[in-house]
Amino acid sequence: MGDGLVKQVAERLAGEVRAEDTAARLGGDEFVVLMTELAEDPEMALMETQIVVQKIQSAIARPFHIDGNELHVSISIGITLFPENSDVADDVLKQADIAMYKAKEQGRDTFQFYLPSMQLAASERLQMENDLRKAIHNGELSLHYQPQFSIDDRLMGAECLLRWLHPEEGMISQARFIPVAEDSGLILSIGEWVMRSACKQLRMWELEGRGGEINRLAINVSPKQFKQRDFVVMVSRIIEESGIDPSRVELELTEGMLLENVEETIDKMTQLKSIGISFAIDDFGTGYSSLSYLKRLPLDKLKIDQSFVRDIEKGDSGSAIVETIISMTHHLGLEVIAEGVETRGQLDFLKHSGCHHFQGYYFNRPLPVDEFEKELNESINPV
Ligand code: C2E
Ligand code: MG
Ligand code: MG
């Protein structure tokens, strides 16, 4: 029975690791998983490791059936990162072993990192994931709206930006929680919530008779979300349920996610475009899009990344990139918006270069809905 169990554990373990990983049995009931394709950034690598660890834990937690018996086993996992901690195979294994014994001391079914600092980062991340799981139901998420202006300083729309007000820790930065949401898959339900809330808000404004003032809301779409097979259905359904005109929704995609599976991407975008939704590429200029490729996508708008806008006043190359992007959009027949506009100088340069839409702290920060509405009133009845 022991041999049978070891075999089944091995099978489950091999089933949970990725194709590029190696799973092996060292002897007895000890296994090793070697993951060589992790992110360069140690923090990202740590996150990826943790995801595999969680998958292994839940695979092993399911009961085993051997000779008509149901067996439950626990697993203690020790983790080390290389080459950060060492690049000598023996040392790496020894570190993992030490970490595993630490895990055993902690009780059953736990994992430990070799370095205490990593353990801390890992448990903070886990905590965040658990808190985030509850955040939607507890109403801790909200949308802020950052106004977008046209060349004649008219407010023409807004971008919805997600905010998380943690009950104990206060506002959690997007830079911290969005990667966790993305990696854990929570971004799918969060993204759906964002989409639904944004559409509801548009409908509400429409019912209050201010539909015309906010032409359009831009909604950020995460790569994982867009990759979902039922993305088109999900978006169409939410828009239909909300009762708004789909042409008031603009989806912001990033270059990376478009490059991955071009035919499927074009197909999804075309379907959504046929009901009136428009598309912008966010953070444009930071990815690797080629011109020929851009031409194939049914795009409406490019959003110049704020890093280039920031460089405008710093010297020639920064402003040259901005000018190039703008003239490219004109040639391709696309709209263009600059994000992260902070100064009058940047705005003047952008206007002068032929950019027609703007968003940034120079005008407003992302605002909670009540403040955004105040801003709307003022833009219609300027003081
Ligand atoms: P993004 O979509 O590129 O959003 C623009 C970010 O720039 C926002 O940061 C905004 O607050 C900030 N920003 C706007 N104007 C200025 C400016 O003048 N100066 C500077 N320095 N920053 C400015 P935020 O809200 O922290 O969001 C960060 C990122 O998180 C977003 O980048 C987006 O990628 C992601 N994100 C935000 N909301 C959502 C969401 O609902 N879903 C998804 N998937 N991602 C989201
Ligand atoms: Mg955006
Ligand atoms: Mg951006």
DSSP one-letter string for 291-328: HHHHHHS---EEEE-HHHHHHGGG-HHHHHHHHHHHHH
Ligand 1, atom nearest to 282 Cα: 3
Query: Which ligand minimizes its atom distance to the CA of 309?
Result: 1
Question: Is pLDDT above 60 for 27?
Answer: yes
Ligand 1 test: best mutation among 136, 148, 174, most atoms within 8 Å of CB? Answer: 174
What six digits make up the tokens of 289? 């899009």
The span from the CA of 363 to the CA of 376, in Å, is 12
Q: How far is the centre of ligand 3, averaged over its atoms, from the C-alpha of 207 (Å)?
A: 30
Q: Tens digits of per-residue pLDDT, 113-156?
A: 998 887 788 888 889 999 999 998 999 999 999 999 999 988 99
Answer whether residue 123 is part of any domain.
Answer: no
Q: Total domain count for the chain? A: 2
- Predicted confidence at residue 381, as pLDDT, reads 60
For the stretch 195-232, pLDDT in tens is 999 999 999 999 988 877 788 999 999 999 999 999 99
236 and 334 inside one domain: yes
DSSP characters over 269-281: HHHHHHTT-EEEE
Ligand at minimal distance from the CA of 303 is 3
280 lines ligand 1 (CB under 6 A): no
Q: Are 53 and 175 members of one domain?
A: no
Rounded mean pLDDT, 331-339? 95
Q: Whose CA is nearest to atom 10 of ligand 1?
A: 366
120 domain residue, yes or no: no
Greater confidence, 100 or 287? Answer: 100
Is there an atom of ligand 1 within 6 Å of 306 CB?
A: yes
Residues in the chain: 383
User: Quick one: pLDDT at residue 257?
Assistant: 86
Nearest-5° Cα angle at 213, 207 to 215? 95
- My answer on whether 105 and 199 are in the same domain is no
Read off the pLDDT of residues 167-205 as tens digits, 9 standing for 90 and up: 999 999 999 999 889 988 999 999 999 999 999 999 999
Q: For ligand 1, atom 16, which residue shows the shortest CA distance? A: 340
**Whether 103 and 148 share a structural domain:** no
Q: What is the pLDDT of residues 278-331, one digit of tens each?
A: 999 999 988 877 777 888 899 999 999 999 999 998 876 778 999 999 999 999
Cβ 360 under 6 angstroms from ligand 1? yes
DSSP conformational letter for 207: H
Alpha-carbon distance of 341 to 210, in angstroms, equals: 26
Which tens digits make up the pLDDT trace of 344-360? 999 999 999 999 999 99
Please tell me whether residues 215 and 349 are part of one structural domain.
yes
Could you say which of 115, 141, 175 is where a domain stops?
115
The model's confidence at residue 383, banded by pLDDT at 50, 70 and 90, is very low
The pTM assigned to this predicted structure is 0.81
Residue 236 lies in a domain: yes
Cβ of 78 less than 6 Å from ligand 1: no
- Is position 229 within any domain? yes
Q: Are residues 86 and 143 in the same domain?
A: no
Question: 322 phi and psi, to 5 degrees?
Answer: -60, -45
Least distant ligand from the CA of 218? 2
pLDDT, tens digit, 9 for 90 and up, residues 360-382: 999 999 999 999 999 888 876 65
Looking at 115, 141, 168, the residue that finishes a domain is 115
The enclosing domain of 306 has a CATH number of 3.20.20.450
84-95 average pLDDT score:
86
Q: Is the CB of 178 under 6 A from ligand 1?
A: yes
Residue 122 lies in a domain: no
What is the C-alpha separation between 68 and 71, in angstroms, rounded?
10
Ligand 1, atom 4: closest residue by C-alpha: 161
Question: DSSP readout, 165-177?
Answer: EETTTEEEPHHHH
Nearest-CA neighbor of 142 among 89, 190, 203? 190
Establish if 187 belongs to a structural domain. Answer: yes
In a domain, 272, yes or no: yes
User: Tens of pLDDT along 246-286?
Assistant: 999 999 999 888 888 889 999 999 999 999 999 999 999 88
- Ligand 1, atom 45: closest residue by C-alpha: 220
Query: Is residue 344 situated within a structural domain?
Result: yes
For residue 203, the CA-to-ligand 1 centroid distance in Å is 23
- If asked whether residues 94 and 215 sit together in one domain, one would say no
State in Å: Cα 28 to ligand 1 middle. Answer: 51
> Tokens 């270059």 appear where?
255
For residue 75, give Cα distances in angstroms to 32, 72, 99, 100, 214: 12, 10, 13, 10, 55
Boundary-marking domain end, from 83, 115, 147: 115
Residues 99-115 have a mean pLDDT of 87
The answer to whether the CB of 100 is under 6 A from ligand 1 is: no
Ligand 1 near 222 CB (within 6 A): yes
Distance 83 CA to ligand 3 centre (A): 33
Whether residue 141 sits in one domain with residue 90: no
61 and 170: one domain? no
Residue 189 and residue 67 share a domain = no
Looking at the structure, do residues 145 and 95 belong to the same domain, yes or no? no
338 contacts 357 by C-beta, under 8 angstroms: yes
* Residues 6 or more apart in contact with residue 359 via CB below 8 angstroms: 146, 147, 148, 149, 159, 337, 338, 339, 340, 341
Q: Please tell me whether residues 107 and 144 are part of one structural domain.
A: no
Count of CB atoms within 10 A of residue 252's CB?
18
Q: Which range marks the domain in which residue 225 is found? A: 128-380
Per the CB < 8 A criterion, the answer to whether 193 and 138 are in contact is no
CATH for 35 = 3.30.70.270
Q: Looking at the CA of 159, name the nearest ligand.
A: 2
